[in-house]
Structures are given as structure tokens and as C-alpha cells.
Chains A and B, each alone.
Chain A
Amino acid sequence: MAAVHLSEAEKVYIIHGVRDDLRLDGRGCEDYRHMEIETDVVSNTDGSAKISLGHTDVLVGIKAEIGKPKPLVPNEGYLEFFVDCSANATPEFEGRGGEDLGVELSNTLYKVFNNRLSVDLRSLCISPGEHCWVLYVDVLLLQCDGNLFDAMSIAIKAALFNTRISKVQLSENEEGGKEIELSDDPYDCMRLDVENVPCIVTLCKIGHRHVVDATLQEKACSVASVLISVTHRGTVTCVRKMGKGSLDPESIFEMTEAGKRVGKSLHAPLMRLLQEEESLGQKRQKVGFLG
């Protein structure tokens, strides 16, 4: 990822700031930057969302296609993730530069989201063993300013909320084969239950404390971070340690607790916002990318 270079003195300044619970931009250790979320920004997807968190910009688009269920779980649909690191975000992503990061990000997203506890995968089934909906979740990084995972997970949750899948009916034709019939009414569609979709909280260990929503500068001062995905009830669904440094058990416990607390508190404002946006309907002036 886009690395920033800092001098020793700058790092010391940041570390002491975290110790005093006053970060460079005046935030406390558990504060997020200002977030702006908009859904339904790409018209040719089934669901989309754009989030900007500080200067991190992420666009998520979801396309539903009919596919074959996996043999092990014949009565469930599934999700596919692809993360595209645009060279707009940083010149290092040009060519194949962002590929490794993209694969790493999409693998993590797959682990966090593609299970029946997060998304009701059964509702994606059309006919067991034969047809199911496959949700292709495409994430595009437009700008990187740290904390990609949290931004991506929130955008994915918003995009899943925004996703509308057309209703289909199965009918049998004369030869006994099955036919899929698409409803004529474009507004006759199914929505996903996003209640249990988790949000990811990344906690960076800086000095003896940890912070959420680290900027690139803060990331440069931290040796290890813990990624925790938390549902609205506070259930932890996935934990991953990232970075080269080591963490002692005590601080892992502390970070998990803090992650749970912060993660739990992300869901309520997000759902409120999504509901509010939906209630505004067509009246709302779309901002999109040039606002």
C-alpha cells in the first residue's frame, strides 16, 4: 500500500499524541473520521454504495447473476469478491502494482462476509442444486488514506442494503425441464436482510495504546494491527492480526474488547442513515463523484 515516510521525530510526536489521547487531527483514540455515505451511485449495478472516510474513497458495486450452487451447500447462493486498486488512488497501483493488495483484501472480505451468519445465503437459492444467485461484489479503491478495511466493510453493508434482486419463478415446461421466468415488473424485487452483516474495525497498536481508523501517518508508526469484524449484537465473526510486529496477549484482549465496543456502535448510525436515505427516495439530489 501507499507508504508514507516519516522521520523519527514525527513518529515520536504521533506516539506521544496517542498516549495523551489527542491525535494529529484532534481525534481521540476511538474516534472515526467524518464519514459520508451514498448508495445507488452506479446505475448499471443491482446495488452500489460510495463511502468517503477522510480521504479514503471506496466505491462498491454489486451485480447479481444466476449461477450454480456449490456442491457442498446446494441450497445456498454465494458471494464473490473482487477488489480493484485503481491507479487513481496511488501511482504504485499502476499496472499490476495493486494486485497483491487486491487479492489480500478480497480474500479477507470473502472470509468475513461469505457465510450464512453474515448474509442469509439461503434466500439466494432459486432451486437447490441447480440455480442460485451469485452476488459479485466489486470494490474499487479510488483514494487511499488508511483504514481501507473499515471503509470497505461499511460500503459493502450499505451496498448490500441497496441491492435489489429481481424475483424469479420456476416453471416446468412440457418436456419436464425447468424454466426460469423473470418477473415483468422491474420493481418486483427481493431485498437482502443486512441486519447481521458485520462491520470491520481495524485497531492499530501505537506505543502502548491502540487507535481505530488510523491514517497513513499513524499506520506508519504502528507495527501490528488487529482486524475484527463485529455484528450489530457485538458478536465477533472474524479476527485477524496484520503487520509484522508482535502483540502480547493482554493487549490483544484489550483490543478485541475495544473493537467489539466500537464495531457495535457503528451499526446503528449506519442503518439510520441508510433508512433515512431510502425515505428521501427520488427527491434527494444525488451528489455522486463530483460533489
Chain B
Amino acid sequence: MAAEMRLPAVHKFISLPTTSQSQDDKQLVVPGEVITSDTGFMRGHGTYMDEDRLTASVAGEVERVNKLICVKPLKTRFNGEVGDVIVGRVTEVQQKRWKVESNSRLDSVLLLSSVNLPGGELRRRSAEDELAMRDYLQEGDLISAEVQSIFSDGALSLHTRSLKYGKLGQGVLVQVSPSLVKRQKTHFHNLLCGASIILGNNGYVWLYPTPDQQDEEAGGYFTSLEPVSLSDREVISRLRNCLLALSAHKVLLYDTSVLYCYESSLSHQIKDILKPEVMEEIVLETRQRLIEHEC
């Protein structure tokens, strides 16, 4: 039994000396800041014209593509691109489609025709399949999927036509800002510490115990409700707290940063990781190691 009470402390952000080249090419702006008064540029997302001056409307990083100037916001909803891996939650079952909450501006769509149904890949979707949709995925279920295409209104169309995607079983969901997830070749990692992680591009991170054998998947719709062992739970809880610590300090999430953070947190109890001073210490150590790793 423990109740920790304290006075709030003023947070100080410590900046580490970063490598010089990564600092130079970044132009960071806040809303209302003039990016350029040169009229030769084109206005992109996140900007507006204020009496011939190109001004930022969001806080973030300036991106130039030839004559086009955009501001990429730090805090944003998920702007999906084709091929992105996402983790989402089914919110509605409709005619031939599931609605999936994926942290984007509109709910994403998962069509019945773009999922793998049990019993073979090439199969016609019959009326029975349509009636049994709720048996496969129901409201509240979590899925991992890939963005197949983007509709004209910006909503995403998803697909799960690969054995690595599908319904998610037991584990923990951590929600972070989508801009903190680093784009990589693969977003599925079996971490060395004994758990697996799906770093969704939409900022939803799924932590789950590493499955024993890779081939079992009964079409991806069977979820085991067997208790997870305590040691796996400890690893997952620690990873969850580490992810929250990293996201609180705006550290980019990818397998190495998560693993480094996990390793530097080992000297603390799991529940202590979320204390501000411990969080700061762990994240600082992680960043230090990441910089050393870079050089």
C-alpha cells in the first residue's frame, strides 16, 4: 500500500548537445511566425498568407519542396499514407465493412473484401460471411492493419491481407503522438527483453507477449485467453511505462530507443518509472546512449 504525494515541481528541460548537422537543417516555427516574406513561394499545409507574408498556422517543422512550403505539425492527428502500419479499434460493424478508430480525422474503413477469412485466401465473400462479420471482429476489438488506399475525403481504407495483420489478443495498448513514431522498414519487433511490440504509424503502440510459435494463427481470429505468465507481464508493464516516459519527453520511438530505455529503467521498480524525476533520469540516459550509438 502506498500513496505518494508531493508538491509539483517546475519542469526543466535539459537539452543534450545533438550532432551539429541534425540541428542546422531544421526550422521550427510557432503559430503566427513569419516563415518568409518572399512572394516567390507557394503556400502549403499548415501555413497562411498574412499580407503577403507566409505565416505558420501550426507549431512544427518547416518543410520545403522546391517552391512549396509546408509546416509539419508536432502534435497532430494521424495523416495516413499508403503502406502505413496501424493499430486501430473497431467501433462499428456495417454492411460489408468495419469502421476502425485509428487516431485520424475520420474513422478508417476495413472492407470485408480486404480481410483474410479463415479457410483459404481466394474465396468468394458470400452472404453468410456478411452475416457472420461480427464473429470475426466485433466492436471494441483491436486490429493491426495496413493502409491500402486513401479516399477522396481523407478517410483511410485498410487491409489485413497478410498473416502478420489481424485481430490482436492479450496485451496493452499505449497511445502516443503519431509524430513520435519513427518510420521504418518494419514496425513489428520481437524485443530482446521478452515481449513483442507493434509500433503503429498512427501512434498506437501494441505490446504483447511474444507468441511461442509463429505458424498457429487460425486465420488470425482465434485469441487465446490463457493467463499470461507473471514474468511476461512484468516486461510488458515496464515497457509500457518506458513508452510513456519516452513520449512525455518527446523521444522518437523505434526498437532501439525502446530497448535502451527498457535497459536503463531496470534499476528502478516498474511503478516508479512514471515518477517525474525517475522518468527524466531514464530518458536522459537513453538519449545519451542513442547519441553515442549514432556516432
**Which chain A residues have a beta carbon within 8 Å of chain B's beta carbons?**
5-10, 12-13, 16-17, 19-20, 22-28, 30-38, 52, 261-262, 265-266, 269-270, 273, 276-277, 284-285, 287, 291
Is B271 an interface position by the 8 A CB rule?
yes
Instruction: Specify the chain B residue showing the minimal Cβ separation from A20.
Output: B230
* Contact between chains at A17 and B240 (CB < 8 Å): no
Is B54 an interface position by the 8 A CB rule?
no
The 4 lowest CB-CB distance pairs between A and B, nearest first, are A26-B270, A26-B271, A13-B170, A287-B8
Return chain B residues, CB-CB under 8 Å to A287.
7-10
* Contact between chains at A22 and B234 (CB < 8 Å): yes
Is B102 an interface position by the 8 A CB rule?
no
Instruction: Specify the chain A residue showing the minimal Cβ separation from B207.
Output: A24
* Contact between chains at B1 and A16 (CB < 8 Å): no
Return chain A residues, CB-CB under 8 Å to B7.
36-38, 273, 276-277, 284, 287
Q: With a 10 A CB-CB cut-off, give which of B3, B91, B139, B173 has the most chain A CB atoms.
A: B3
Instruction: Specify the chain B residue showing the minimal Cβ separation from A13.
Output: B170
Q: With a 10 A CB-CB cut-off, give which of B1, B173, B273, B274 has the most chain A CB atoms.
A: B1
> 5 A-B residue contacts at CB 8 Å?
A7-B141, A26-B273, A36-B5, A38-B8, A285-B10
* Contact between chains at B1 and A9 (CB < 8 Å): no
Instruction: Specify the chain B residue showing the minimal Cβ separation from A38.
Output: B8
Please give the distance in Å from B55's CB to the nearest CB on chain A. Answer: 25
Q: In the complex the two chains form, what is the Cα distance from A24 to B240 in whole Å? A: 8
* Contact between chains at B223 and A36 (CB < 8 Å): no
Please give the distance in Å from A20's CB to the nearest CB on chain B. Answer: 5
Q: In the complex the two chains form, what is the Cα distance from A32 to B10 in whole Å? A: 22
* Contact between chains at A32 and B233 (CB < 8 Å): no
Q: Which of A9, A36, A269, A276 contacts B225 (CB 8 A)?
A: A9
* Contact between chains at B171 and A26 (CB < 8 Å): no
Instruction: Specify the chain A residue showing the minimal Cβ separation from B6.
Output: A36
Q: Which of B2, B11, B173, B240 contacts A10 (CB 8 A)?
A: B173
* Contact between chains at A35 and B4 (CB < 8 Å): yes
Please give the distance in Å from A50's CB to the nearest CB on chain B. Answer: 8
Per-residue interface assignment for chain B, residues 93 to 131, with 1 indicating a CB less than 8 Å from any chain A CB and 0 otherwise: 000000000000000000000000000000000000000
* Contact between chains at A16 and B173 (CB < 8 Å): no
Q: In the complex the two chains form, what is the Cα distance from A30 to B9 in whole Å? A: 25
* Contact between chains at B1 and A262 (CB < 8 Å): yes
Instruction: Specify the chain A residue showing the minimal Cβ separation from B172.
Output: A24
Q: In the complex the two chains form, what is the Cα distance from A22 to B234 in whole Å? A: 8
Q: In the complex the two chains form, what is the Cα distance from A265 to B271 in whole Å? A: 19
* Contact between chains at B1 and A30 (CB < 8 Å): yes
* Contact between chains at A265 and B5 (CB < 8 Å): no
Return chain B residues, CB-CB under 8 Å to A52.
8
Residues of B258-295 whose CB lies within 8 A of A: 269-271, 273-276
Per-residue interface assignment for chain B, residues 1 to 35, with 1 indicating a CB less than 8 Å from any chain A CB and 0 otherwise: 11111111111000000000000000000000000
Q: In the complex the two chains form, what is the Cα distance from A266 to B228 in whole Å? A: 33
Instruction: Specify the chain A residue showing the minimal Cβ separation from B269.
Output: A26
* Contact between chains at B170 and A27 (CB < 8 Å): no
* Contact between chains at B269 and A13 (CB < 8 Å): no
**19 other contacts beyond A7-B89, A36-B5, A291-B9, with CB at 8 A cut-off?**
A7-B142, A9-B142, A10-B170, A16-B227, A22-B237, A23-B237, A25-B237, A25-B241, A25-B271, A26-B234, A26-B270, A26-B271, A26-B273, A30-B2, A36-B8, A265-B3, A273-B5, A277-B7, A285-B10
Return chain B residues, CB-CB under 8 Å to A284.
7
* Contact between chains at A269 and B3 (CB < 8 Å): yes
Instruction: Specify the chain A residue showing the minimal Cβ separation from B234.
Output: A22
Q: In the complex the two chains form, what is the Cα distance from A103 to B53 in whole Å? A: 50
Residues of B214-269 whose CB lies within 8 A of A: 223, 225, 227-228, 230, 233-234, 237-238, 240-241, 269
Per-residue interface assignment for chain B, residues 149 to 184, with 1 indicating a CB less than 8 Å from any chain A CB and 0 otherwise: 000000000000000000011111100000000000
* Contact between chains at B1 and A265 (CB < 8 Å): yes
Q: In the complex the two chains form, what is the Cα distance from A10 to B3 in whole Å? A: 27
* Contact between chains at A9 and B223 (CB < 8 Å): yes
Please give the distance in Å from B59's CB to the nearest CB on chain A. Answer: 15
Q: Which of A7, A22, A35 contacts B233 (CB 8 A)?
A: A22
Return chain B residues, CB-CB under 8 Å to A266.
3
* Contact between chains at B5 and A269 (CB < 8 Å): yes
Return chain B residues, CB-CB under 8 Å to A32.
2-4
Please give the distance in Å from B198's CB to the nearest CB on chain A. Answer: 14
Assess A273 versus B140: contact at CB under 8 Å? Given A9-B170, A34-B275.
no
Q: In the complex the two chains form, what is the Cα distance from A235 to B3 in whole Å? A: 19
Assess A26 versus B237: contact at CB under 8 Å? Given A12-B225, A16-B228, A261-B1.
yes
Q: In the complex the two chains form, what is the Cα distance from A25 to B169 in whole Å? A: 19
* Contact between chains at A20 and B3 (CB < 8 Å): no
Q: In the complex the two chains form, what is the Cα distance from A274 to B1 in whole Å? A: 21
* Contact between chains at B91 and A37 (CB < 8 Å): no
* Contact between chains at A9 and B168 (CB < 8 Å): yes
Return chain A residues, CB-CB under 8 Å to B274.
25, 33-34
Return chain A residues, CB-CB under 8 Å to B139.
5
Q: In the complex the two chains form, what is the Cα distance from A188 to B217 in whole Å? A: 74
